Structure 1
Amino acid sequence: MPNQVNEAIENHYTRPDVGSLILAALARAGKNLDQLTPEDLTPIDAFHIRGRAATLELAQVVELDAEKQVLDVGSGIGGTSRCLAQKFGCRVTGVDLTDEYCRAAAMLSAKVGLQALTDYRQGDAVNLPFEDDTFDVVWTEHVAMNIPDKARLYHEMYRVLKPGGMVAIYDVMAGPSEPVLFPVPWARTPETSFLVEPVELRQLLEDTGFVISDWTDSTEAARTWFASLVEKIQKNGLPPLGFHVLMGSAFQAMAQNQGRNLQEGRIVLGQIVARK
């Protein structure tokens, strides 16, 4: 069963040769492909609600610095890893189920000169290909929604963290007024969506052995951000560079449902930091 779920999730995210699609979109947006900066990639890089702002807020809570070894679980095309490496000088390893994303991530990191601080491995979040006690910070944004075995996920994060290390989570959770309307950016149907309520997530983390040090509900900020995004798309259409390059033609319906899910309390957002 888990393999079938993984296959369905990979199919959901994989677009053939996504790296070339991204480069073509950058060229259409007027970017010089020989002189790309991390900022040029921002409209497509931060594939999560509230984008780079949310990433930097979480990084401040974790007190990231250049001494930290970071693992980004569910690293996608590498946007978060590049943001953290650029802003804080830390070394970031990304792991993602989708091989196509790992290749695109490495290519884009090289294009913006961050290949020395970032590297990417194809792998499964519930069976991480790393030794025990390896990382100072395990980071994850908008990933757990696709993982049914949450206990195993957080156990693996705990295992690869050094003693005293931190897990940094920014995730979508089940809201008080389910069910979720599909399709959404993480799933086209309920079969690949596995949301837990905040109280369940807290219990899972504590059962794993984590001590929670920060828990922020960021649902309201997400609602405002999403309303503004949808309004922009309705007014100006899709920009040359945006998440639709990754998700294809279904993205507009996904974005509308995501907005409704937030407004109607079907999903909530949380920023959580916990220590091993």
Structure 2
Amino acid sequence: MTDDVARHYESGGDLVRAIADALRAAGKDPGRITAADLAGVDEFHVRGRAATLELAGFLRLHAASRLLDVGSGLGGPARTLAEATGCHVTGIDLTPAYCAAATALSAWVGLSGRVDFREGDATALPFADAAFDAAMTIHAAMNIAAKDRMYAEARRVLKPGGRFVAYDILQGEGGPVLYPVPWARTPAISHLATPEAMRELLEGAGFRLVESRDSTAEGQLWFERMAARAAAAGAEAGAARAPTLRLLLGDDFAAMARNQVATLRERRIRTVTFVCEA
């Protein structure tokens, strides 16, 4: 099943080169860019950078913190938090191409010294006990059936009193998910928990739940605004060639995005942040 998940996110070809080519087509030099230039691909979750910065407060990060990002993707959240707080972030992701791209993009924006990325399985983390001050996961658990092992591993690698924040897409009350969506083309690799099940899983892993925050309505509005901006920008020179999630997920990303908006609007899914302490 992990191979199926990796194949879903692997677009084929050289991802780093594809992003660099898209930047150049949009008039950007990959050697002279900022994190903002990567916004179309780099914050791969609902509400984007704003949601990432929200997590910084929950995690209580500072310059001496060592943060683990489980399911780090292209490394956007890791770079955002390293830049915003001065902390060091280690990302782990199942997809080799994403780890390679995350490393390259971090070098482009001058953050190689504050972030590093490793290929690995969230249910069997390759780190020692109590190795991190804090940990987070953003929109990763939807593809993981063994959530009990994932959260137990997160608890294991945290220092006592360390915070773990899970910001994920959950099963809503509005019915089954409409496929394809960004995390799955079919139900085979989609493993959504309900909010109630999440609380039980996190507490079962040994965490104390500090608070939870449902941002579903904000996520729906964010997606609708993003779609409107994309439509308005479509006629502008270079806009269609700028790096977007289509580079990662292929030509059916437009259908995925439409279904994501519909599932949020109809409350087939919810976005919820859980703040926990070890």
TM-score, length of structure 2 as denominator length: 0.95
Quick check: 1:8 aligned with 2:4?
yes
Moved more, 169-178 or 37-46: 37-46
Quick check: 1:210 aligned with 2:204?
no
Of 174, 179, 195, the match for 1:182: 179
Quick check: 1:249 aligned with 2:251?
yes
Quick check: 1:200 aligned with 2:202?
no
Residue of structure 2 equivalent to 1:172? 169
Give structure 1 regions of 4+ aligned residues with deviation exceeding 3 angstroms: 233-239
Q: CA deviation at 1:244?
A: 1.2
Q: CA deviation at 1:67?
A: 1.3
Moved more, 15-24 or 35-44: 35-44
Of 81, 85, 90, the match for 1:93: 90
Q: CA deviation at 1:61?
A: 2.0
- Following the alignment from structure 2 to structure 1, what is the Cα–Cα distance between the partners of residues 108 and 73? 16
Of 115, 120, 123, the match for 1:123: 120
How many aligned positions are there?
A: 272
Identity of aligned residues (%): 46
Q: CA RMSD in A?
A: 1.1
Q: Tell me which amino acid in the other structure corresponds to 1:249.
A: D
What pairs up with 1:1-276 in 2 under 5 angstroms?
5-15=1-11, 16-237=13-234, 239=240, 240-276=242-278
Give 5+ residue unaligned stretches, structure 2: none
Q: Secondary structure at the match of 1:34?
A: helix
Q: Secondary structure at the match of 1:172?
A: strand
- Following the alignment from structure 1 to structure 2, what is the Cα–Cα distance between the partners of residues 90 and 29? 31
- Following the alignment from structure 2 to structure 1, what is the Cα–Cα distance between the partners of residues 204 and 73? 28
- Following the alignment from structure 1 to structure 2, what is the Cα–Cα distance between the partners of residues 125 and 40? 29
Q: CA deviation at 1:229?
A: 1.7
Q: Secondary structure at the match of 2:102?
A: helix
- Following the alignment from structure 1 to structure 2, what is the Cα–Cα distance between the partners of residues 149 and 85? 29
Give 5+ residue unaligned stretches, structure 1: none
Q: Tell me which amino acid in the other structure corresponds to 2:9.
A: Y
- Following the alignment from structure 2 to structure 1, what is the Cα–Cα distance between the partners of residues 200 and 276? 12
Moved more, 228-237 or 147-156: 228-237
